[in-house]
A and B are shown apart, each in its own frame.
Chain A
Amino acid sequence: MSTNPAVGASGAAALEARGYRSAGLSRLREIIEREWVFSWLILTPPLLFLLCFLGYPFFYGVYLSFFHREVASSPTFVGFGNFVTLASDPIFWQSVGNTIKFTAAATVLKATGGLGMALVMNQNFRMKAITRALLLLPFIVPTVLSTVAWQWIFDPGLGLFNRVLVESGLATRGVSWLGNPTMAMVSIIMVNTWRGLPFFGISILAGLQTIPVELHESATIDGASTWGRFRYVTLPSLLPVIFIVTTFSIILTFFDFQLVYVLTGGGPANSTHLMATYAFSLSVGVGQLGLGSAVALSMVPVLGLLLVLLTFYVRKD
């Protein structure tokens, strides 16, 4: 008889002693123990939940995108009509381009910045724990509120940036951070990067801390330089972490809505309209629920394509 604590010394014996409590119960237990039965039993509650709360809205959303459906009126089937309308809508294509630019730029900045932050934090110094928590603050504070603060930071006259630029003599007048279309895009990328960088930093730091010291030591013994060690030991070991975190981040950034909604409303002249904000404004502002759903649905294949490309790129290495 085993003494495995999970079962108890008398476990198996107890089973035998009880014999057939009732024929059905023991038979039932046997069935449950089968790998696939057990798995599906455990999977059922979450799957039911997701089907009900995620599946139903999702399919309803997809369904809506094939209809011309205005608020408080009945739907008419239009097949791919909404998508055809969008294909000839210059604002739609502008939002697609904006979303891709925004996601790509912010992700690259966050990944490299996060890597840098992680490398720096991977040293020993006092107050490390507090620093780690403080550096996470941009990620923790509710987006709506930090974006409200950024409105002021971008203010043309009193904002921190322009005050520093002008008073240090770097520029004669401030930059129009939210008025100039190019700068507006730069601004939203900046705010998103600021918010997400700590997430990358802390996660990559986690990865760094699992690389066995022996790997570094043997590389040094073999004559590798600091850069060489970084390239052949550190970076490859970090790749899985970076991949997971980057994928999460791309998805969340691609769907980002709050930031633009609060900071620019999609302006000036639609230069910061993202697909998420455009979908929202079509559904709610214009009252075209079908069209708005079509825009939202279009996000999925674009994002899927980006992720597939990323996966191939990473797997190739």
Chain B
Amino acid sequence: MVGELTWRRRLFGLWLPLAAFAVIALFPFTWMAATSLKTNAELYDPKANPLTIRHPSLVHYVSLLQETNFLTWIANTMLVAVVATGISLLLGTMLAYPLARMRFRGAPLLAIAVAVTYLVPQTLLFVPMADLIGRLKLGNTLSAVMLTYPTLLVPFSAWLLMGYFKTVPKELEEQALIDGASRWRAMTRVILPLCMPGFISAGIFCFTLAQNEFLYALLFLSRSDVRTVPIGVVGELIRGDAFYWGQLMAGALLGSVPVALIYSFFVKYYVAGLTAGAVKG
């Protein structure tokens, strides 16, 4: 920042607000962590401190991993998220590239039609979607969700990517064409490689939404071994009105902390991608 940095400025301008944000963002996680390491008896004790653990125990983690299909659910979730993201990026690019860089009849109308697809709520689609999946006999397969998640993700990734594609100067493409390249080559060899940050940015967004999705997974995945983490955890760790809190929280942490670590590698690209797309978009 421009200006003189005294320690007082640093304290009030950086450390205190940062601490405030960190506390706000992370306090539920401290509770989740504490709960996952407490025995049920301590959890239900009204006099106990919610955030400290008197007799730590790994019993919930053990039963989560041993008595449920948790690891299978994690594998399923990761697979589904990666494939759905891949499909969405591919289709999103194919949608965004012509709309961002080419001129052709019907382009404005198409752009509006694509924009309208963002406005379609899942609660309107879930009944017909279930019908479609049923007809294709994809019930209880991961393909059901791998094919339906892109319907939620393609509109958003197309929009993000469109903004990003627009930032690459037209001259580069024109030069390639003059040099004899086909449009396809110009697109795949010249322009798209420059857009990596945009892909990573859209990819992270898609991945997050995919691994978080609940409604379609609930409807299409009823067998334990094909479930994703949200459905599996909720399905088998809530029995009637009895919540298995410790295991639920263990599942929540094990399911999200690895993803956060992966994100920490990609965050700088996410930042770059969103930036370029937005500023010029």
Tell whether any CB of A sits under 8 Å from a CB of B in the complex.
yes
Q: Which residue of A lies closest to B266 (CB)?
A: A133
Cα separation A303 to B278 with both chains bound (whole Å): 22
Interface string of A32-50 (1 = CB under 8 A from B): 1101101110110111011
Do A241 and B127 touch (CB < 8 A)? no
On chain A, the residues within 8 Å of B110 by CB distance are 43
Does A75 touch B at the CB level, under 8 Å? no
Do A4 and B180 touch (CB < 8 A)? yes
Do B263 and A145 touch (CB < 8 A)? no
Do B50 and A158 touch (CB < 8 A)? yes
Do B124 and A251 touch (CB < 8 A)? no
Does A104 touch B at the CB level, under 8 Å? no
Interface of B is mostly: helix
Do B259 and A140 touch (CB < 8 A)? yes
Do A244 and B281 touch (CB < 8 A)? yes
* A206: contacting residue among B24, B264, B271, CB under 8 A: B271
Does A248 touch B at the CB level, under 8 Å? yes
Does B119 touch A at the CB level, under 8 Å? yes
Do B279 and A241 touch (CB < 8 A)? yes
Q: Which residue of A lies closest to B272 (CB)?
A: A206
Q: Which of B265-281 contact A (CB under 8 A)?
A: 267-268, 270-272, 274-279, 281
Interface string of A1-36 (1 = CB under 8 A from B): 010111100011001000000000000010011011
Q: B170 CB to closest chain A CB, in angstroms?
A: 12
Interface string of B99-112 (1 = CB under 8 A from A): 00011110100100
Does A163 touch B at the CB level, under 8 Å? yes
Q: B147 CB to closest chain A CB, in angstroms?
A: 6
Cα separation A203 to B206 with both chains bound (whole Å): 15
A56 and B132 contact, Cβ closer than 8 Å, known pairs A140-B208, A149-B252, A197-B25: yes
Does B248 touch A at the CB level, under 8 Å? yes
Cα separation A143 to B210 with both chains bound (whole Å): 12
Does A86 touch B at the CB level, under 8 Å? no
Do B121 and A39 touch (CB < 8 A)? no
Cα separation A123 to B110 with both chains bound (whole Å): 42
Q: Which residue of B lies closest to A201 (CB)?
A: B21
Interface string of B238-275 (1 = CB under 8 A from A): 00000101001101100111011101100110111011
Cα separation A194 to B27 with both chains bound (whole Å): 11
Interface-located stretch among A76-84, A114-122, A177-185, A263-271: A114-122
Does B175 touch A at the CB level, under 8 Å? yes
Does B186 touch A at the CB level, under 8 Å? yes
On chain B, the residues within 8 Å of A4 by CB distance are 175-176, 179-181
* A241: contacting residue among B208, B257, B260, B275, CB under 8 A: B275
On chain B, the residues within 8 Å of A293 by CB distance are 124, 127
Do A142 and B275 touch (CB < 8 A)? no
On chain B, the residues within 8 Å of A198 by CB distance are 25
Q: Which of B81-140 contact A (CB under 8 A)?
A: 91-92, 94-95, 97-98, 102-105, 107, 110, 117-129, 131-132
* B124: contacting residue among A132, A163, A254, A297, CB under 8 A: A297
Does B194 touch A at the CB level, under 8 Å? no
Does B185 touch A at the CB level, under 8 Å? yes
Do B212 and A143 touch (CB < 8 A)? yes
Beyond A57-B128, A123-B1, A217-B2, 5 extra complex contacts between A and B, CB < 8 Å:
A38-B102, A158-B46, A197-B25, A203-B278, A293-B124
